[in-house]
Structure 1
């Protein structure tokens, strides 16, 4: 019997990590914990930066944007997966899948561009310190973020529209816990060559381009640090880049691992595990990387918690009550004494 051709299927099946019922509570608890750590960790970074005027600099402005994007990136996939485990279902509707593809591409692109912008910021600070405030003025910082958003929105819109032109048939099983673009294209019955072409071209331009920019920036940074005479000066300059280099390495290595694993095997479990690294683990580790190696962030967090503790203490103190009747009586009594 021929398979039914569906231009717009009603739903997809997300295979996830395992179909074993006894493993579902463990997977649910693990991903819920990682999701909460990711959200609260990145929220603390945003609150610390916004509450401390000393951190209102380009570097921390970009970091707060990165933390916001990481929260959104994780929230695109994990809540749906947790809900499916809770209701014991693997179904995601066609519309929800397309929306998930759109926002995944959007926030993944924003992560990529913001890391590139942050590398440029470190390049300007170390290689051109005298002109840094002119090069990275607030207007330029806002423009860089807006351009990153604009390119990411257009790219994700292009990829989503390309998916909408595909027809599907047969069992629509996605070997992931979310709607991953390459896997959705593989399920199509219609010609997917234009989709593959767009995916590869945009990957070269929007991933290879920023990575080249990051590599160039740090080549110049390394050259400038090498020319610094004092060991203390070298250490100070290099320490401002360690956190960013760690996040860049984590993001690109895990992203590359996803595509290498998906090309080497079609196993549901291995593909989902590889995807988890850059969609969950990387956003979760970013706050730890920046807070543990950054004295300014740690100081801002301590100040934030100290102020919050003082406010809670003040709120618990009893509120003084003034009795107008007593004062009125005292006033009348005094009047009577004077009258007598």
Structure 2
């Protein structure tokens, strides 16, 4: 303990505040309309992702490696928006912007875990499409249910460990400057900059984690599709290329929806107004989980067929119940 206190500095005592104050949306004009929009986004996200998970669970024909990853993505999207949006509405719509220290750390953990898992889940789907198109004869050997479950489990373990490390580094900081967080949630970057002792490890994490969580997955995904395109141009006919491209269309749409706002926001971070930055970051967090199930339902024939099958079974069972004598 003496060594720890000495690391804080001679004139600084360790301060763990009982609470933080989140002020992200305060002062933004007409922000109540944005809260209505967030509520709408949340409802659509819950309904859409629950529907996708239910369809995959009910239809045995969708118990494939690809749809195991889709099921996990829907679960992560549902968990992420459920962890973020209701709390954000509670904080700003009902003026509960004072959040206890431990609740803030828990809030941060769930938000970052789901955000990271969305990125890694797109990597899993990208690998699935790469093997399915480039090595179709070996697909069942290389990508089976066990392999996909192991890949997703390893992503979960890595993500949870990485986020726990970032939370652990925050708990060693002394917050004697301020407890006001200028963000819409307990943001790691905003939090560690409030510290008055050495926050260099947190600074390293804030630089290193985006590379691992955003840039490396994006490089892998883009490289896999460049390889797919190069291979198809060399060996496939035009019709075969179009057919293969259609199987990737849903996943490519998810990649664009997820990475485009993230890259724009972080690239232009210093050039946009703080209020616009907060709005952009919040949209980056809530928009992909809403659009992902819509994209898969509209662009994936297997899910459309399964929805029609389930709807047909439901109508038949309803007709049988009505025809029963009372």
Given the two structures, how large is their TM-score scaled by the length of structure 1? 0.86
- Matches of 2:300 and 2:200 in 1, distance apart? 46
Change (3 A) 1:290 1:5: farther
Q: 2:297 aligns with which of 291, 297, 302?
A: 291
- Matches of 1:245 and 1:60 in 2, distance apart? 16
Tell me whether 1:207 sits opposite 2:251 in the alignment: no
- Matches of 2:77 and 2:238 in 1, distance apart? 35
Alignment RMSD, CA only? Answer: 2.2
Structure with higher Rg: it is: 1
- Deviates most, 302-311 or 122-131: 302-311
Change (3 A) 1:169 1:307: farther
Are 1:250 and 1:282, in contact at CA under 8 Å, matched by a contact in 2? yes
Q: CA deviation at 1:99?
A: 0.7
- SS in structure 1 of the partner of residue 195 of structure 2: coil
Describe how 1:29-178 pairs up with structure 2 within 5 A: 29-178=36-185
- Deviates most, 202-211 or 309-318: 309-318
Aligned pairs, number: 315
- Matches of 1:129 and 1:56 in 2, distance apart? 18
- Matches of 1:264 and 1:164 in 2, distance apart? 31
The equivalent residue for 1:15 is 23
Are 2:55 and 2:306, in contact at CA under 8 Å, matched by a contact in 1? yes
- Matches of 2:203 and 2:178 in 1, distance apart? 21
- Matches of 1:20 and 1:251 in 2, distance apart? 25
- Matches of 1:165 and 1:38 in 2, distance apart? 36
Q: CA deviation at 1:29?
A: 2.0
- Matches of 2:131 and 2:307 in 1, distance apart? 27
Given the two structures, how large is their TM-score scaled by the length of structure 2? 0.89
Change (3 A) 1:191 1:309: farther
- Deviates most, 32-41 or 194-203: 194-203
- Matches of 1:5 and 1:36 in 2, distance apart? 45
Change (3 A) 1:305 1:276: farther
Change (3 A) 1:6 1:316: farther
* Stretches of structure 2 lacking an aligned partner (at least 5 in a row): 1-11
Are 1:175 and 1:183, in contact at CA under 8 Å, matched by a contact in 2? yes
- Matches of 2:323 and 2:51 in 1, distance apart? 27
The equivalent residue for 2:267 is 260
Are 1:166 and 1:192, in contact at CA under 8 Å, matched by a contact in 2? yes
- Deviates most, 174-183 or 134-143: 174-183
Tell me whether 1:280 sits opposite 2:286 in the alignment: yes
The equivalent residue for 1:301 is 307
The equivalent residue for 1:192 is 199
Are 1:247 and 1:289, in contact at CA under 8 Å, matched by a contact in 2? yes
Change (3 A) 1:116 1:224: same
- Measured against aligned partners, the alpha-carbon deviations of 1:11-63 in whole angstroms (never above 9, x if no partner) come to 22222334479643x23322111101011111111111122222221111111
Are 1:126 and 1:224, in contact at CA under 8 Å, matched by a contact in 2? no
* Stretches of structure 1 lacking an aligned partner (at least 5 in a row): 321-340
Q: CA deviation at 1:107?
A: 1.3
Change (3 A) 1:11 1:164: same
Q: 2:253 aligns with which of 226, 246, 254?
A: 246
Q: CA deviation at 1:271?
A: 2.2
- Deviates most, 122-131 or 307-316: 307-316
Q: CA deviation at 1:226?
A: 1.2
Are 1:251 and 1:278, in contact at CA under 8 Å, matched by a contact in 2? yes
Tell me whether 1:28 sits opposite 2:35 in the alignment: yes
Change (3 A) 1:92 1:262: farther
Are 2:26 and 2:92, in contact at CA under 8 Å, matched by a contact in 1? no
- Matches of 1:131 and 1:241 in 2, distance apart? 18
